[in-house]
Structure 1
Amino acid sequence: MYFQLSVSLLFVYVGVVALYRLYFHPLCKYPGPLIAALTDWYELYHNIIQGGALLTEIDKLHKLHGPVIRIGPNTLHFNDRNAYHDIYSNGTAFVKEPGFYLGFMAHAPSGLVSACDPEEAKLQKSLLGPMFSRRAVLALESTVQKKVDQLVSLMKEHYTSPSSSIQMASAYRAVTTDVITEYCFAQSADTMIPGFDHPIQRSVQEVVKRIWIQRHFPFLNTAASNAPQNLVEWLSPEYKSYVGMRTAYEHQIDGLLANPDSVSVADHETIYHHLLLNPKNRTTPSRRELIDQAFTLLGAGSDTVGNVCTVGTFYALKYPSIAQKLSTELYEAWPDEGRPLGLTVLEKLPFLTVFIKEALRFSVGVIHPMPRQATTTVNIAGFDIAPGTIVEMSTAFLHLNPDVFPDPYTFNPNRWLVEDTNEMNLDFAPFSKGPRSCVGLNLAWCELYLIFGNIFRKFNMKLHDEEVNERTDFRQGFKCDLVVSRWHWEDYRVSIQPFCEAHLSPSE
């Protein structure tokens, strides 16, 4: 009797909620799939069951329904450049939506990315910001250069024979992992080894692949942390290297908490100088908070920059005239490759600069929509939005807007060489916009200049697999949404030779 009554009440409840969401909810007037209006599991279906196909589905819906669509019971997605700026540049009217970010960052819930309270986020950014200022990056430029030199040496030693080839995605993610760990912690992960298959790299990629599982089922991350490690490693062998990496930073943090003065003996300034010794910090961060900040920076600083390098190199080699033009410009500015060329000089090279901007535009950055919640009634691109509504827009729709970037699916650095780039720069957001923009953007720019500058100055490269050229259209090649974009061809291999002037393009 009680069971039947409970089941009946459950069906009544579900029916009432469904009727409300379909016909009486403030968002019922917006177009979108029926299932999306009924349940948030619409996103789960595309992120997990369809392997990260949410963005592809959203693109289809916008083409069918227009600039604003309902993709959840309380969620709207926009495809309007004005909407992007309204949502992400307005720091007072929106906050990060906790349900998404605390699941998305379940492995580091106390880190900067997870901070949904604006005041807490402002404090954390004020503490970490000086570590990533332009002044700080220039002061530690030699640290970045040393890692890039290590990559160049490894490539010369192991991959310049006619029979060898190198998978650039793995090489780039190795160097960016070593840069961010050395820069932030004065303790490099040392993932640059022949083959570029260090266990830490594999574990980071596994975390990225599981990101949507923990976003929708965050309790699984907690369960894995509390379960016997032997059991977790047996169920997921890749987890072992993740645990090893986390343990290494835990030991470092434990030593710093036991003796805060030991921060001063590090080889160079680290994030711990700012988190432990900064007078702005009202309280000493807990062990968990320090660990979470470390893993937030590790993930954000390795995968995204590595992805930009992977995309940029691929298209430079797919269109050899781009690679030749890069090499020619670099050779003319840097005739003696044995003497390092600094960041401030590389920044002044016009074609290298526009090439990096196009690589950033094409790789998008964080490609998945990052939701915000309206704190008051707001107007977004002409639509009045009620308080509490979740709103979002993927940066991909900004970077691939044909009204601002003509022929947007073509990789074309020359688009940035026109006289007036104001409109393009306004909609150029690889590091997001507004108060929650990426804290590490100065370091990212430094890495991109030094990596691309050294690679295209010191090597002649050619795509190893000719078949790649037949399947590289952006829309065909796009694979799935795993926070940053992925393509079917991202495992491409390259044949490399030491630099030879014969490959330079004619002077213009």
Structure 2
Amino acid sequence: MGILTLYRLFFHPLHKYPGPILAAVTDWYEAYYSIIKKGGLVIEIERLHKLYGPVVRVGPNTLHFNHYSAYHDIYTYGLTLVKESGYYHGMCTLFPESIVACCDPEDAKSRRGTLGQSFSRRAVISLEYAIQTKIDRLVALLEEHYNAENSTVQLVIAYRALTTDIITSYCFAESANSLDTTPDFSHFLLRDLQEMIKSFWIQRHFSSLVSLASSAPEKLVLWLFPQFKVYLEMKTGFERQIDKLINNPASFDNVDHETVYHHLLEAKGPRRPSRTLLVDEAFGLIGAGSDTTANTCNVGTFYALKNEEIRQKLTEELREAWPDKDRPMSYVVLEKLPYLTALIKESLRFSLGIVHPLPRVVGPTTPEIGGLKLPPGTIVEMSTLFLHMNPEIFPDPYTFNPERWLAEDTSKMTLDLAPFSKGPRICLGLNLAWCELYLIFANIFRRLELKLLVTEDTIKDFTAIPADYFVPQWQKDYRVFVAKVKC
């Protein structure tokens, strides 16, 4: 151990890069801030960049960057870099065969080609009605249960229920029906998923134990990890639906619309996916398609309600473009509205999507990363936070300002807006996410009159850096009064 420590400190190819001694010596430095400091890694990385500069050694073989050119070298143009398998296999312990866990570029490209058919712009528009149906349900529930003067709703929970129902309905033609647990949207799926998120880093750093436990008898698993109840129940549901489709292909004809399984099961020969792979893909899609979109809606709604000028500009634009609020407004029309688009882009910039840095491995033909020629095998990464909060591209970055997106030239900002990541591993569901955001924001602000419940907490903005549980976790909740818009 002593020899390894000496090697990492004085002879390792990265020994010349600044950073904490403990980070250079052991990978458990990251685990300490993620687990013991409860999602504090990105907060610590920001401190390290202030102390050491734009390149910091955050692990024995890992460099974290804080420069927009490095981000694009790693992700946007990073065709010669691959996902770091240790991180992704640990992160996806419970769904190891999903595309999220896939580190082989050729395999990932093939899988994306198959799954991508379900998330193309054309496919999303064809299923817009399924998204609108869930939004209509939320609007009706808010009108029904929160229309009294002394009644308020915690919107972040309502948004999670909505996005969970949308992604399950869209992907599997079977909704989780989280919205039906009114008045407080206390569906076990939402509650237990949040508990699983809080234990995320245990899964990442102790993946072998979690993997062993998940294969144990169900009673033992629930005794050891009570929060796994939602995982086991979801797994049973996915297996039931998949077995039905495999054993009786004609049952495809009985679902409301095409599901992700249609394309996956069309594959023939040795590449035909296994039952396990189909279940794992289902988990990956739900995880990627629920909290991230809900967080964006939650952040954007808060600032639109807190700032009267933002709310007024948004509602005036919507009223003019959508005079009859009782008739649905299509996504292709809404996406042409400049202020609504600006609000959504600023909400995406603030909410980040994924806050944890996504590690990539330098290959033998990788060009420079942020101006540095690094040895093959080096792990490089950069959290989206440092891209979205870069004052060189986004002046006064910690101010929520949709107006910045209405400037004459927004090309540099657009290049550096990466809530879905960039490049060959960009999020598969970005077309669905854009459609959801336009429809949700438009329907909420056109059909409802929301008013922020003012407390000492709501006076403050969202914290500059949220807790890092892969997706951001803000220690801020707010509640709103709800009334139906009269005209």
Normalised-by-shorter TM-score class: over 0.9
Indicate if the aligned counterparts of 1:395 and 1:429 stay in contact, CA closer than 8 A: yes
* C-alpha contact 1:260 1:276 (8 A) present in aligned 2: no
Calculate the TM-score normalised by the size of structure 1.
Answer: 0.93
1:336, distance to aligned residue in structure 2 (A): 1.2
Question: SS of the residue aligned with 1:116?
Answer: coil
Distance 1:261 1:498 in 2: 44
Is 1:177–1:302's contact at 8 Å kept on the other side of the alignment? Answer: yes
What's the TM-score once normalised by structure 2's chain length?
A: 0.97
Gaps of 5+ in 1: 1-13, 502-508
CA contact (8 A) 2:331 2:435 kept: yes
In the alignment, which of 307, 318, 343 is matched to residue 330 of structure 1? 318
Cα deviation 1:3-35 (Å, max 9, x = unaligned): xxxxxxxxxxx1110110000000000000000
Name the CA distance, whole Å, in 1 between partners of 2:229 and 2:104: 33
Question: What amino acid does structure 2 have at the position aligned with 1:190?
Answer: N
Aligned position for 2:155: 168
* Aligned mates of 1:67, 1:298 — CA distance in 2: 35
- Pair member with larger Rg: 1
Cross-structure match for 1:493:
479
The structure-2 alpha-carbon separation of the partners of 1:202 and 1:473, relative to structure 1 and needing over 3 Å to count, comes to closer
Q: Which amino acid aligns with 2:484?
A: P
User: Which of 142, 145, 149 in structure 2 is aligned with 1:155?
Assistant: 142
- Conserved 8 A contact 2:452-2:480: yes
* Structure 1 residue corresponding to 2:423, chosen from 419, 422, 434: 434
The answer as to 2:114 corresponding to 1:127 is yes
SS at match of 2:178: coil
Task: Find 1:312's aligned residue among 287, 297, 300.
Answer: 300
Shift of 1:368: 0.3
| DSSP 3-state at the match of 2:483 | strand
Matched residue, 1:413: 402
Query: Which residue, 71, 84, 92 being the options, matches 1:97?
Result: 84
Most deviating of 221-230 and 36-45: 221-230
Contact 2:156-2:295 within 8 A present in 1 as well: yes
Quick one: distance in 2 between partners of 1:31 and 1:291?
A: 43
1:378–1:386 contact (8 Å) kept in structure 2: no
Deviations along 1:53-88, one digit per CA (max 9) or x if unpaired, are: 110111011111111010000000000100000000
Distance in structure 2 (CA, Å) of the matches to 1:82 and 1:49: 32
Contact kept? 1:202, 1:238, Cα under 8 Å: no
Distance (Å, rounded) in 2 between the aligned partners of 1:419 and 1:277: 46
Superposed displacement of residue 90, structure 1: 2.7
Give unpaired runs (5+ residues) of structure 2.
none
Counterparts of 2:148 and 2:459 in 1: how far apart (Å)?
Answer: 26
**Contact 2:267/2:273 (8 A) holds in 1:** no
The partner residue of 1:379 within 368, 373, 389 is 368
Is 1:32–1:61's contact at 8 Å kept on the other side of the alignment?
A: yes
1:216 correspondence with 2:205: yes
2:147 alignment partner, SS class: coil
In the alignment, structure 1 residue 364 sits paired with structure 2 residue 355: no
Aligned equivalents of 2:452 and 2:444: distance in 1? 14
| Coordinate RMSD, CA, aligned | 1.3
- For residues 351-400 of structure 1, the C-alpha deviation after alignment (integer angstroms, 9 at most, x for no partner) is 00100000000001111000000111531111111000000000110000
Answer yes or no: is 1:346 the counterpart of 2:334.
Answer: yes
Distance apart, 1:465 and its partner CA: 3.7
> Offset at 1:263?
2.5
Stretch moving more, 260-269 or 285-294: 260-269
In 2, distance between residues paired with 1:180 and 1:474? Answer: 28
**What's the offset of the Cα at 1:245?**
2.0
- Could you tell me which amino acid in structure 1 is paired with residue 275 of structure 2? R
In 1, the alpha carbon distance for the partners of 2:209 and 2:297 equals 33
Q: Residues 318-346 of structure 1: CA distance to partner in whole angstroms, max 9, x if unpaired?
A: 11221121111111111211111111111
CA distance in 2, matches of 1:163, 1:469: 17
For 1:41, the equivalent position in structure 2 comes to: 28
Count of residue pairs brought into register by the alignment? 484
1:273-322 deviation per Cα after TM superposition (whole angstroms, max 9, x unaligned): 1100146x752211110000000000100110011011111111111221
8 Å contact kept, 2:304–2:311: yes
CA contact (8 A) 2:79 2:424 kept: no
Q: How far apart are the structure 2 equivalents of 1:32 and 1:204?
A: 35
Alignment of 1:181-260 (within 5 A): 181-192=168-179, 193-194=181-182, 195-260=184-249
1:404 equivalent in alignment to 2:404? no
Contact 2:95 2:283 in 1 (8 A): yes
Cα distance between partner residues in 2 of 1:260 and 1:409: 52
Per mean C-alpha deviation after superposition, the further-off stretch among 333-342 and 21-30 is 333-342
- Give secondary structure in 2 for the equivalent of 1:447: helix
Is this contact kept in 2: 1:409–1:474, CA < 8 A? no
Partner residue in 2 for 1:423 = 412
1:355 aligned onto 2:343: yes
Helix, strand or coil at the partner of 1:362: helix
Q: Does 1:447 align with 2:436?
A: yes
2:459 maps to 1:470: yes
- Secondary structure (helix, strand or coil) at the match of 1:238 reads helix
Out of 90, 95, 112, the position equivalent to 1:108 is: 95
Question: After alignment, is 32-41 or 372-381 more displaced?
Answer: 372-381
- For the residue of structure 1 that corresponds to 2:290, the secondary structure is helix
Secondary structure of the equivalent of 1:385?
coil
Residue equivalent to 1:299: 287
Contact 1:62 1:79 survives alignment (8 Å): yes
What secondary structure, in the 3-state scheme, does the structure 1 residue paired with 2:399 have? Answer: coil
Aligned-partner Cα distance in 1 for 2:192–2:462: 30
2:276 and 2:283 map into 1 onto residues whose CA distance is 11
- Aligned partner of 1:387: which letter? P
In structure 2, the residue corresponding to 1:494 is in which secondary structure? Answer: strand
Aligned-pair CA distance for 1:473: 5.2
Question: 3-state SS of the aligned residue for 1:339?
Answer: coil
Sequence identity (%): 56
Alignment-mate amino acid for residue 64 of structure 2: H
Alignment partner of 1:496: what SS?
strand
What is the alpha-carbon distance in structure 1 between the residues aligned to residue 213 and residue 452 of structure 2?
41
Confirm or deny: 8 A CA contact 2:458 2:478 kept in the other structure: no
Structure 2 Cα separation of the partners of residues 283 and 488 of structure 1: 44
Which amino acid in the other structure matches residue 155 of structure 1?
A: L
Q: Distance in 2 between matches of 1:354 and 1:132?
A: 23
Aligned-pair CA distance for 1:488: 1.7
